[in-house]
Each structure stands twice: as C-alpha cells, then as structure tokens.
Structure 1
Amino acid sequence: MNWLTGRWENQREGIKTVEIWERKPVDEFQVRGFMLEGTDTLFAESIKVASKKRNIFYTVTIPDQNNGKPVAFKLTGNSGSELIFENPEHDFPQKITYQKAGPDSVLVQIEGVVKNKVKKSEYYLKKTRN
C-alpha cells in the first residue's frame, strides 16, 4: 500500500477532491479526505487503514454520517496495484477499490446496491506530492 502515500487531488466542475495518505510507524496509514468548492468544505472524512485480528481494515469516520461512528471495510483483495475493501452489511458503499492507473494516478471506485439497484461512482486522483 506504500504506493498510496502522498497527496492526491482531482479538480472537476469546480469541486476539488483531496486525499492525503500518511504512513504511520506501526504498519498503519492515516488518511484525510475532503472536498472543497472554493474555500468551502463540502465533505470531510478521516480514514485509518490498519491490521486488526489478522485482517486489514479501511475504517472511515464521517462526522455527519452513521452518527459519527466509524465504519470498517475489510481488505478482500490486494494485487499490489489494486486494493479492494468490502463491507456487505453497510448501506452504501459496500465496496471501495483503489487501482493504480499510472505512476502518479489512481482510480477510486465506490460501489454498492441501493434499493436493489447497483450504484457506482468513480474518479481519478493525481499525485501532487509525496
């Protein structure tokens, strides 16, 4: 997962998406994610990727969702250039994928089933800083 370390950004339709991945000393990553429109923060999340009970979990906390409680997604796939995290019990998303799309770009896919319909969104992030 070291390839995700750094600052990643996307600018689309006046909205800037940012993810900052920092490796911590104890085989853990801290991630800050947010979306900006000008100077206004539209969305913010904190993510911790860490090992727990022999598994790796991507745990997301979004202050105004899920009563501010963290939601954990288990690592179910790691090819070295693609990471798949899943939580089939979560309302949306149930699956989060990070796929290396080049030396300085990553494709993020968020998907799940909502009201019996598959919902999927994807976006590219470009590395702007290590």
Structure 2
Amino acid sequence: MGGTETIAMVRLRGMGIFRASCRGIACTMALGATGAAPVWQLADLSWLAGHWLACGPRGETAETWTDDRGGVLLGISKSVRDGRVSWEFSRIDRTADGIVFHASPKGQQPAAFTAVSITRNSVVFENRAHDFPQRVSYRRDGDRLVGRIDGVVAGTPRSAEWRYQRAALNAVCPPG
C-alpha cells in the first residue's frame, strides 16, 4: 500500500471496485460500476484512543478517547485557560451517513460532522452547513496528536489547533 492510500482504498481494491493512480502526494481515484462509498470501520480510528494533554503558557487542554468497543468511540475534552473552563463531550459512531463525529460543546448546540477521509493516522470530518467549525480533524504521529478545527466565519478563514502529547489518565501540565 502506498503512503497516500487510505484504509478505505485498500478495502475497495480488495473488493475489485477501486483503482488509484498516485504520483508524489496526489492521487486520483476511480470507483468501479458499483459507485460504492468508502468502506471505513470504527476500528480504523483505534489510534485515537488514549489520554492526550496539551500544555501552553495560558493553560492546558486534556482530551480522552475510548476505544471502539460497542460500536462507539467516546471522547471528552476539558480546557482550563486563564481561570476559565470549557469542555466538550464527543462521540464517533456509524450512522446511515457513514462514520460521524458528534460534538456537544459547553453552551452550544450539538453538531454532527461526517468523515470524508480516514487514513492509518488521520481523520477529517466535515459539515459544510455548520456555522463554525465546518471541519474537524485529528492526526497522530507516535505519542503526539494534533486536533484542528477550521472553517469560514463571515467570509474569513478561521482555525484553531491543539498539539497533544500522550499522557497518563488525569495527568496535568507542570506548573509554570
């Protein structure tokens, strides 16, 4: 499998309904006559499980994800910055729309984002109809996890990124 192929590409190739042409980092894909959507599984996101901690000069963010047992990954995020606390409950499960990230942030309405890309170490979810963000993504590199949200607000691109380190459950950032 080439470095740019997703898990879904390999599964579709095995079913005889996918072919890809890759040059450098660009790939073009063609589906066979079935026109099948990507065949992702929740287990493809097993790399997300664990406790992740981001430490910064103004505070910390901790994010914890379960594995996919029972057909769902559950997540919780808590940020403490400048004496303020924010949090979010999340889940990733399979619906009729595919693999879906459901976010329920403190003080906001829940929102659902559908997976548009899953690889061995990254995932991108989108909901273009949502006010902000329109995209939620995670990328893992060893003991590091990058979470990112991005989209457009009033015609202006906006984004936020969290750089986590794998940590023991309930670990806290060192003082200072």
TM-score surpassing 0.5?
yes
> Is the 1:27–1:50 Cα contact (8 Å) retained in structure 2?
yes
Identity fraction in percent = 22
Counterpart in the other structure of 1:21: 65
More strand per residue = 1
Greater Rg, structure 1 or structure 2? 2
2:99 to 56, 59, 80: 56
Contact 1:8 1:20 in 2 (8 A): yes
8 A contact 2:46–2:68 mirrored in 1: no
CA distance in 2, matches of 1:63, 1:54: 25
The Cα offsets for residues 82-113 of structure 1, whole Å up to 9 and x where unpaired, read as 1000000100000011011x210011111000
Cα RMSD (Å) of the superposition?
1.7
Moved over 4 A (4+): none
Number of positions where the alignment pairs a residue of Structure 1 with one of Structure 2: 125
The alpha carbon displacement at 1:11 in A equals 0.8
Q: Which runs of 5+ in 1 are unaligned?
A: none
Q: Which residue of 1 aligns with 2:34?
A: none
Q: Note the 1:38-57 alignment, pairs <5 A.
A: 42-53=85-96, 55-57=98-100
What SS does the corresponding residue of 1:75 show, helix, strand or coil? strand
What is the aligned partner in structure 1 of residue 153 from structure 2? 114
Match of 1:97 among 133, 137, 140: 137
Distance 1:12 1:62, change over 3 A: same
Q: Deviations for 1:9-56, whole angstroms, at most 9, x for unmatched residues?
A: 011123110101012522210001010248x55101100100011501
Q: What letter matches 2:152 in structure 1?
A: V
The match for 1:11 is 55
> Could you tell me which residue of structure 2 aligns to residue 128 of structure 1?
167
Query: Is residue 2:75 matched to residue 1:35?
Result: no
Q: Is the 8 A contact 2:66 2:75 kept in 1?
A: yes
Change (3 A) 1:116 1:34: same
How far is the alpha carbon of 1:71 from its aligned partner?
0.6
* Structure 1 or 2: more helix by fraction: 2
Structure 2 residue runs without a partner (length 5+): 1-44, 170-176
- Listed one character per residue, the Cα deviations across residues 39-79 of structure 1 (whole Å, up to 9, x for unaligned) are x551011001000115011001123112xxx2100011001
Query: 1:74 and 2:114 equivalent?
Result: yes
Are the counterparts in 1 of residues 86 and 106 from structure 2 also a CA contact under 8 Å?
A: no
